[in-house]
Amino acid sequence: MTRGNPNITIAIVDTGVDLNHPDLKGNLVPGVNLMNPKLPPQDDNGHGTNVAGVVAAVTNNDQGVSGILWNAKIMPIKALEADGSGGEAKLGEGIRYAIDHGAKIVVLSLGLNKYSTYMSDIVKYAEEKGVLLVAATGNEGNRVRYPAAYSTVLAVGGMTPDHIADTRSNSGPEIDLVAPWDVFTTALGGTYEYKDGTSMAAPQVAAVAALVWNKYPDMKPYQIRQLLRQTADDLMVPGWDAVTGYGLLRADRALTETPLLDMYEPNNRKDQAKALSVSQMIAASFTGGSDQDWFYFDAPYDGTVNLNFDLEAGQSVDVQHTDAKGTFTGVTAAPGKPVALKVSKGRSYLQLHLSDRGKKEEVPYKLTTSFDIYADQFEDNDKQYKAYVIPSRSQTIKGTFHQMNDQDWFEFPVEQSGMLTIRLSTDTARIDPVLYVQKQGEKGVTVDDGGDGVTEMLVLPEVFPGSYYIRVSNVKEYAFPVTGEYTLDIEYDAKQIDPNEPNNKSYQSTTISLDTEYSGLMDKADDIDWFQFQISGDSYVQTDITDIPSGVTMFANLYDGSMKPVSSGDGKTAIQLHQRLPSGTYYLKLTASEPFDRDLYQLIVHAEPLLGGYSDIQSHWAQDNILELSGKQIINGYDDYTFRPDLPITRAEATAILSRAFKLSKQKNIQYKDVSPSHWAYVDIARAAQSGIVDGYPDQTFAPDQPVSRMEMTSMIARSMNKSGKVRGAVPFTDVDDDYWGVGILKQMKAEGWITGYADGSFKPDQQASRAEFVSMLAQIMP
């Protein structure tokens, strides 16, 4: 298809290149030595020469090796010292030099753990100038390094001969592709050698990008990135993943397959949702106003996912988001105006739709995502006088650096002499943790012995009563917010005192308040701890005993006011007694397999008042309808005594409710691919299908977990009422026209008073219906 690209220049920002290497000099063009501008960019390390050979070692010259590009223009830019070290100043200067001197592709087989606005601005400058940046993710088995981590940089990891990501290859939400980890390439002094790492994988991707640009010279950098993603071989789950990105680089496919305007289709339904990174730029399109694009992403922590859409002027996107806890959010995003979605750790789903439902033409768009980690529960504690007071016991604290120059202060009150061991670790190399400890009124100690991601530790063999202040921070150079958590482990070895004694008898029970944490210990072999609490009404009560010392088994027995046993449990790390209880006084008896007096167990009792057996419907607008249908056993909730009224209702749930509501008994022989006879709603779906209330899709699926839209909800209930929708008249809602598939049903149901729209005259037929909306509409038609 093509053997090279002599029309563009590829800059290698590295340690320089061996300018006299017989297998390279034929493809070299003038560069620059930023370490010593008076000297040529001669490689004094070897790394840059290794990279250059992968890109464009001269081919058909009867010596050495062949680069992916048989002919090319390689610009050597020396931005690193002889030992391979360097900083962002020279790195940024090297990228800027390449852009300003005609480079079309810049290879960056290097990286830093530090984010900076300086480098971010240079990366944006490259994108604006139509220059593609390709960077290695790094070789530490940690998070993707910068500049690979910026959203418009093509981030490349390394793959082993077994077609799996090398364990040393950095990964995370920024990774795009992987390429072979091991190569044989050019070396200093006109020689050759085996080299490995993501530094050798990145130039392979850069070279293939040059081949693609030779075939499609009018492509923009984002289109090059998208085509390489489109044509990569999946190595793990289909689509994108955080370890191998979109998969293995495939030069042959990139040069032979037709570039797609939207590589994620089909994704018109939730069960077709495609993987989306929380920190990347992608390109896709809406085929028109009726097209829906479904994506899912996995949030690494609780936090905020920011969506920034780039599409034609005058258009906007309706975003419907359901996070890992089932929380639903609907927003509208306009070009250049990012929307922020609060997310819980885990999988979230996005449904995207043009706001202009009547749009007939295809509308391409670019979507840039970014992630902001949550502010930890100890904020605001950035100053010593704001120090968060933590319990005087051994414990583990997780925190974040969610804002500029974030640092966290803690006050640890020592009540009894003992030994104090403090460890500060992190789950990302983007944090270089620094620990500072000071006893009030005395000189403090700073611990910063390790580097990026390395645990710091301080042992104080003897501490005395008083306040000890602990400061946790990132090194000063890493001032920006970081996606990652630190862990502060505090081991305090001191003889403890049980604050609840004497409580060895039931009549000595310690009265506890709900939602308040209590501590205790068993300092004698026959020690017993009694507690009592009151429940004012029918409630779901959660009694949790945690922090049970290692090697100890604790036993818990719960009694009612007449000392009749209610429940019991035991555990080596924790005990949970969760049950529904009527109002009254309750007694809790705790014992242990052996005594302990160095650690304290923790006890907390929480009660959720129940209404109709549910903890989350009190004062909800649909409360009465939920209670009515629940009383008729038409609907039910979840095992944790919740109904989750605002959660989108699925096709399986809606069908089961209608089957029970109308007491359907006859069932049809159904053969949907995704509903086996063992599916919990199989019988109800078969009965509803027999009655003509529901049917499947042309691909022989039912999509039982697909959310039901407001139009589908109305249609299902109308069919249950034997209403065919054959009423004429004006269209009753502003966002529905006579060509809409359900307009007849809407006309009839509106005319007969079964449905109403919103105050603005719309019905929002494609919006997901909630469990409360479905129950409320069904309650209206029930006798």
Which percentage of the chain shows pLDDT scores above 90? 88
Q: For the chain, give the mean pLDDT.
A: 94
Report residue 781's pLDDT band, with 50, 70 and 90 as the boundaries.
confident
What is the third-level CATH fold of 270-370? Jelly Rolls (2.60.120)
What's residue 259's pLDDT?
96
- pLDDT tens by residue, 675-714: 999 999 999 999 999 999 999 999 999 999 999 999 999 9
Rg of the chain on CA atoms, in Å? 32
Report residue 782's pLDDT band, with 50, 70 and 90 as the boundaries.
confident
Which percentage of the chain shows pLDDT scores above 70? 100
Residue 402 is among the residues annotated as catalytic for this protein: no
Report residue 724's pLDDT band, with 50, 70 and 90 as the boundaries.
confident
8 Å CB contact between 136 and 148: yes
Report residue 651's pLDDT band, with 50, 70 and 90 as the boundaries.
very high
Superfamily of domain 5-256: Peptidase S8/S53 domain (3.40.50.200)
Strands ordered across the beta sheet of 274-275: 274-275, 292-299, 346-354, 317-322, 328-333
Q: Taking residues 108-126, what's their average pLDDT?
A: 94
Report residue 1's pLDDT band, with 50, 70 and 90 as the boundaries.
confident
Nearest alpha carbon to residue 39 among 101, 82, 72, 10: 82
CATH of domain 506-609: 2.60.120.380
Report residue 157's pLDDT band, with 50, 70 and 90 as the boundaries.
very high
Residue 473 is among the residues annotated as catalytic for this protein: no
What's residue 2's pLDDT?
84
What's residue 335's pLDDT?
92
Report residue 725's pLDDT band, with 50, 70 and 90 as the boundaries.
confident
Please give the structure tokens belonging to residue 44: 């004094």
Q: Give CA–CA dist 240/275, Å, rounded.
A: 6
Report residue 746's pLDDT band, with 50, 70 and 90 as the boundaries.
very high
H or E, element range at 214: helix 198-215
Domain at 384-493: CATH architecture: Sandwich (2.60)
CA angle centred on 73, ends 67 and 78, rounded to 5°: 90
pTM for this predicted structure: 0.69
Residue spans per domain, the chain: 5-256, 270-370, 384-493, 506-609, 623-781
What's residue 87's pLDDT?
87
- Choosing from 14, 23, 43, 616, the catalytic residue is 14
What's residue 728's pLDDT?
79
Q: Which residue has the higher pLDDT, 725 or 361?
A: 361
Q: Give CA–CA dist 466/439, Å, rounded.
A: 7
Report residue 573's pLDDT band, with 50, 70 and 90 as the boundaries.
very high
- pLDDT tens by residue, 71-91: 899 999 999 999 888 889 999
What's residue 769's pLDDT?
95
- pLDDT tens by residue, 240-251: 999 999 999 999
Q: Taking residues 746-760, what's their average pLDDT?
A: 91
8 Å CB contact between 463 and 421: no
Report residue 479's pLDDT band, with 50, 70 and 90 as the boundaries.
confident
- Bridge partners of 474? 433
- Choosing from 151, 169, 171, 199, the catalytic residue is 199
- The answer to whether the 5-256 and 384-493 domains have the same CATH topology is no
What's residue 418's pLDDT?
83
Report residue 119's pLDDT band, with 50, 70 and 90 as the boundaries.
very high
Report residue 744's pLDDT band, with 50, 70 and 90 as the boundaries.
very high
Residue 44 is among the residues annotated as catalytic for this protein: no
- Choosing from 47, 166, 370, 776, the catalytic residue is 47
